[in-house]
Chain A
Amino acid sequence: MSAVVADVLRDPRIWQGPRHAQPQVEATGHAALDAALPGGGLPVGALTEVLHEYDGTHELTLLLPLITRLTQSARRIVFVHPPYIPYAPAFVAAGVDPWAMHTITNCGDEGLWATEQALRSATCALVACWPKQANDRQLRRLQLAAESGRAIAIAFRPARVAMTTSPAAVRLHADAKGIQVLKCRGGNAAAQRIAIQ
């Protein structure tokens, strides 16, 4: 590239598209999915939505290698008011350190508050929540909390909200056939499904 182009690129008025921002990411551990995500993983300090219509369709397997890696390096994972009990024997069998995985129960209507507290505290590497009703403003708050705590925020939501807009940096859709990237900030959403084992 010539010196002229380099000069032009240094001009702050030039916006360089995807190359402009290189977000910090954590690889999901699924090679095909990481390849489809900009930077090669889920963004740190941002909200990721996982949309799924039914339970038991890879929505948690999607995160399992990441959870395993984080807990093994003694970084905390928090589940805020999950719909079921995270079954410790299965997580341990997958290599997760159960001491670094915590579950907040009894939330009632305070689930989003608890999620925000956990994200902002900057003591958790990943906070997953299952909001019953979340509007755009609440999701934006989670996004901001994730930014201030440099944590990965995951919101599991029903598939029907796919058509509404969301402030999430990454939106994934999980079903029995695999994972589909619906949206990813700083990249193009891939059309094809990615199978997950």
Chain B
Amino acid sequence: MQWAAILLPDLALDAVRRSGVDPHAPIALIAGPPQRRSVQSCTATAAQAGIRSGQSLAAARALLPKLITVDYDAQRTDALRDLLVAWAYGYSGEVAVLAPDALVLEVGGSLNLFGPWSAFERRLRADLADLGVTHRIALAPLPRAACVFAHVADGFAVTGAMQAALRRVPLVQSRLPEDGLALLASMGLRRLGEIIDLPRAGLTRRCGVTFVERLDRLLGHVPDPLPLYRPPDRFEAKIEFEAELRSLEGLQFPLKRLIGDLCLFLFARDGGVDAIELAFLHDDCAPTTIVLRSPAPERDAAQWFGIARLRLERLTLPAPVAGVGLVARELPPFVPLARGLFDAGAAAALDWPQLVARLQARLGDGAVKTYLPAADHRPEAAFTTDASVSSRILTGPRPLWLLPRPIPLRDRAPHILAGPERIESGWWNGREACRDYYVLETSVGQRAWAFRPAGAIDGPWLLHGWFA
């Protein structure tokens, strides 16, 4: 195992810079209650003017009147961290956030693809620079040790003699709990090497269990389970327009971008999606929500966009659109349809699920049915579209066409070919059928399946099917 640690010392400021502020301007992040607002962190240009973290806002303003102050926004910082974790997931399957400012990724398995480490590291740094994130990177056989090395020396990489390198690390930079470090410093201990060999019982008594456990994890003496990152199981994105859109044509471009983002996300986590919820936001009324469905998980952007366009044709919007939101809640695994190499119809323009999705987008959900036999003697209940209840029972002759509901047979003297077949069932759920079925031939030669009430010798025929 080889772990790369990426420290993000200035994450909150980076998040502010990414939102479009001039990166060279003196910026200070302000936090704290309204009465005692103080500087949390500041850029290098602000620091040159004497601004330090912990300073009160008034003092900072006095030192540098043109200081740009931005309120610290935890949400914005978290969003950037999430983005970085998702980005790191592209390089390794094992990514974890060890501390709010540190993420680690297992790179031993990725070196074959991206390596050697020097090239891999350059690649990571280039990506992070593109993202506009301040960073320190180090490599070590253990994740916490890698964090420490990144803290001590940016770019440090150790593969073999990790313990020896760890012993030389100053205690103040060891990222161990602060209170324990303060105590050890007051005892005159300066380096990690000096406490590694101390008797554990005494160390535990003085610094606490947590401190010793953190130390053991750092050294690799006890297992260190990491909360590994898993890509989220839902996708949410939103675009708000500067001006309201009145036409559906104008919606196509933002929709295409949203669906494109979704499909990229699905591709990265090797998933698909079978239902997308689209919300059209209006300024003065509740959003219009539509659901696009596909019978099988799908991740082809063109396919989803085609479904969306067909669905939009049927849509009338109550008001101009101020924004579009897209939510995909369930992301089942994507299984590409297997097709034989020498299949005659290999040039299929659409897969069957894609065809069903297109048809249902235009004709409405449930427009494509698969009728299966059901175990019931009543003809109207002997078929189902629900695969879970499908089964069959053996019966007499049955027609290929069934009328949705029986109608009077308009024929004066039909000729009886077969029958009667008594069907008497369904008394338990109130839709009782008690009929004698006959196969008839009408005067023009049609073969009909018709019934009379059970036991009736004459009377009107009720037509229930055609032997077509």
A89 touches B359 (CB 8 A): no
Partner of A60, one of B367, B442, B444, B468: B468
Q: Which residues of A contact B345 (CB under 8 A)?
A: 122-123, 150
Contact residues of A between 56 and 70, Cβ < 8 Å to B: 56-61, 64
Q: Which residues of A contact B399 (CB under 8 A)?
A: 56, 87, 90
Distance between Cα atoms of A176 and B440 in the complex (Å)? 13
Q: Which residues of A contact B355 (CB under 8 A)?
A: 117-118, 121, 123-124
* A76 lies within 8 A of chain B by Cβ: yes
B446 touches A56 (CB 8 A): yes
Q: How near does chain B come to A72, taking the closest CB pair, in angstroms?
A: 16
Q: Which residues of A contact B444 (CB under 8 A)?
A: 53-54, 176
A87-B398 CB under 8 A given contacts A57-B445, A120-B349, A149-B349: yes
Distance between Cα atoms of A91 and B444 in the complex (Å)? 25
A89 touches B363 (CB 8 A): no
Q: Which residues of A contact B468 (CB under 8 A)?
A: 55-61
Q: Which residues of B contact A61 (CB under 8 A)?
A: 400, 467-468
Contact residues of A between 79 and 127, Cβ < 8 Å to B: 82-94, 98-99, 101-108, 110, 113-114, 117-118, 120-124
Over the window 391-406 of chain B, the binary record of Cβ atoms lying under 8 Å from chain A Cβ atoms (1 yes, 0 no) is 0100100111111100
* B22 lies within 8 A of chain A by Cβ: no
Q: Which residues of A contact B362 (CB under 8 A)?
A: 110, 113-114
- Please count how many residues in chain A sit with their CB below 8 Å of the partner chain's CB atoms: 50
Q: Which residues of A contact B446 (CB under 8 A)?
A: 54-57, 176
Q: How near does chain B come to A94, taking the closest CB pair, in angstroms?
A: 8
B348 touches A121 (CB 8 A): yes
* B452 lies within 8 A of chain A by Cβ: no
Q: How near does chain B come to A145, taking the closest CB pair, in angstroms?
A: 10
Over the window 348-373 of chain B, the binary record of Cβ atoms lying under 8 Å from chain A Cβ atoms (1 yes, 0 no) is 11111011001100111011111111
B370 touches A89 (CB 8 A): no
* A26 lies within 8 A of chain B by Cβ: no
Partner of B401, one of A58, A87, A89, A104: A87
A84 touches B402 (CB 8 A): yes
B359 touches A104 (CB 8 A): yes
* Size class of the contact patch on chain B: 35 or more
Distance between Cα atoms of A106 and B442 in the complex (Å)? 30
B382 touches A88 (CB 8 A): yes
* B198 lies within 8 A of chain A by Cβ: no
Q: How near does chain B come to A141, taking the closest CB pair, in angstroms?
A: 16
A123 touches B348 (CB 8 A): yes
A89-B352 CB under 8 A given contacts A106-B363, A150-B344, A177-B445: no
B398 touches A89 (CB 8 A): yes
* B447 lies within 8 A of chain A by Cβ: yes
* A175 lies within 8 A of chain B by Cβ: yes
Q: A91, A105, A122 — which one has the most chain B CB atoms within 10 A of its CB? A: A122
Q: How near does chain B come to A153, taking the closest CB pair, in angstroms?
A: 15
Contact residues of A between 10 and 26, Cβ < 8 Å to B: none
Q: Which residues of A contact B348 (CB under 8 A)?
A: 121-123
- Extra contacts besides A76-B352, A85-B383, A107-B367 (9): CB < 8 Å: A56-B467, A86-B371, A87-B383, A87-B398, A87-B401, A88-B371, A123-B350, A123-B351, A176-B445
21 A-B contacts (beta carbon < 8 Å): A60-B468, A84-B402, A85-B383, A87-B383, A87-B398, A88-B373, A89-B383, A89-B392, A102-B369, A103-B371, A104-B368, A105-B367, A106-B363, A107-B363, A117-B358, A118-B355, A118-B359, A121-B348, A122-B350, A150-B345, A176-B444
